Amino acid sequence: MTSVLFTNIGELTTNDSTLGDQSVLGLIHDAALVIEGGRVVWLGERNSAPVADEAVDVGGAAVIPGFVDSHSHLVFAGDRAEEFAARVEGRPYSAGGIRTTVSATRAATDEALSANVARLVNEMTRQGTTTVEIKSGYGLSVADESRSLAIARQFTDETTFLGAHVVAPEFADDAAGYVELVTGPMLEAAAPHARWVDVFCEQGAFDADQARAVLRAGKAAGLQPRVHANQLGPGPGVQVGCEMGAAAADHCTHLSAGDIDALSSAGVVATLLPIVEFSTRSPYPDACALLAAGVTVALASDCNPGSCYSSSMPLCIALAVREMRMTPAEAMWSATAGGAAALRRDDVGHLGVGAKADFVVLAAPSYVHLAYRPGVPLIASVYAQGCVVA
Ligand code: NIG
Ligand code: FE
């Protein structure tokens, strides 16, 4: 196996607080990294680096772990540009939101769906994302949910069954019947292709009892729970997630003090999705209150055709800092190690001996530039398991 030394790294973010400056990011200045077999085998100060078979000089650039985007909805067809324009122009618009995408997705061929996911995953990779979670949720029938997950699985192992996104149109007057379908035949068809089960627990989607039923059935089928919670208003989503042992409660835009306590005592990750609030002109979640309570915070894109048609983790970081007052270091950590925690992964989201060699070389001297220079293409190159992918 060939070993490769990446040297002349101006600032290396490791996310290991025992390394370098011992901060939460474990920054090592004037650093080097050796990779072999797709893993990190050595990292430290450049002048103590071991000899390797090959060397790459990154010219003083900053190197960070690849972003871990723990929340996306990439399996869909069509777009909703008209709905977006109507919303931002203040025009009345009564199209069916998620249901518009459900119709387009059902009508699309497997090839078209797969090509759309490939396009978006490629877009993410070019912006520094090396691990992505992908949900179903625009099929809402047994066949369309299971094919959505089979397609997602071609791109990632982090696939999430979200049959409980909204009640399918055929069940408009029979939500209970739809929950039976989701927890029965749909789950059975979806489970072989999924690692996670998710539910949109929100007024207009699924209530607390329905959400519990979905998560309980998913767990019985071997899936691990996560939730869409407290996005549009206060509600029971976060509490249900905590009670059901969810890895993460996502959105968390409208939280009570009790919700924050529950996240903190249950050790559930709060995944914040600030590009949703940016795109829908909504109030941002209170990241500082979550961090002050000791809650693990992740940042993710939520890339989807409705509330957030952006796959950009650098934008997510810039908004977290500018709009949610996270420090640049907190945002950097949450977009990498936080995402890994939300997916219960210890092999990604950090750079240390044994970790996957998933990293990004920035066209900047420091990770701080991700927030300091919003909208600027700072991703110089991206490596996944040691191979250049962008
Ligand atoms: O995470 N909250 C539910 N689902 C998506 C929106 C999906 C859509 O509008 O198509 C979200 O924001
Ligand atoms: Fe979502």
Q: Give the β-pairing of 248-251 and 269-272.
A: parallel
Fold of 67-342: TIM Barrel (3.20.20)
pLDDT at 12 over 80: yes
Identify the residues whose C-beta falls under 6 Å from ligand 1: 73, 97-98, 101, 200, 228, 231, 276, 302, 304-307
Which tokens sit at 158? Answer: 């982090």
Q: Whose CA is nearest to atom 9 of ligand 1?
A: 306
Q: What percentage of residues in the chain have a pLDDT greater than 90?
A: 98
Which tokens sit at 294? Answer: 């000791």
- Amino acid, res. 61: A
Residues 320, 317: Cα–Cα separation, whole Å: 5
pLDDT of residue 91: 82
DSSP output for 142-176: HHHHHHHHHHHHTT-S-EEEEEESS--GGGTT-HH
Cα 271 to averaged position of ligand 2 atoms, centre (Å):
10
Residues 281, 258: Cα–Cα separation, whole Å: 26
pLDDT at 95 over 90: no
Q: Which of 230, 280, 307 to mutate to test the pocket of ligand 1 (most atoms within 8 A of CB)?
A: 307
pLDDT of residue 94: 60
Q: How confident is the model at residue 92 (pLDDT cuts 50, 70, 90)?
A: confident
Beta bridge partners of 249: 227, 270
Class of 3-66+349-388 in CATH: mainly beta
Question: So where are the chain's domains?
Answer: 3-66+349-388, 67-342
pTM of the model: 0.98
pLDDT of residue 110: 98
Residue range 161-189, pLDDT digits in tens:
999 999 999 999 999 999 999 999 999 99
Q: Is 285 exposed, middle or buried (0-12, 13-18, 19+ CB in 10 A)?
A: buried
Mean pLDDT of the chain: 97
Which tokens sit at 171? Answer: 């069940």
Cα 292 to averaged position of ligand 2 atoms, centre (Å):
25
Residues 40, 116: Cα–Cα separation, whole Å: 32
Beta bridge partners of 255: none
Residue range 297-349, pLDDT digits in tens:
999 999 999 999 999 999 999 999 999 999 999 999 999 999 999 999 999 99
Q: Tokens 């869909």 map to which residue?
A: 76
Residues 115, 221: Cα–Cα separation, whole Å: 29
Q: Whose CA is nearest to atom 8 of ligand 1?
A: 306
Residue range 23-75, pLDDT digits in tens:
999 999 999 999 999 999 999 999 999 999 999 999 999 999 999 999 999 99
- For residue 254, the SS3 value is coil
Residue range 111-148, pLDDT digits in tens:
999 999 999 999 999 999 999 999 999 999 999 999 99
Residue range 228-261, pLDDT digits in tens:
999 999 999 999 999 999 999 999 999 999 999 9
- For residue 236, the SS3 value is coil
- Nearest-atom number in ligand 1 for the CA of 71 is 1
Across 90-94, average pLDDT: 73
pLDDT at 93 over 70: no
Q: Which of 304, 309, 311 to mutate to test the pocket of ligand 1 (most atoms within 8 A of CB)?
A: 304
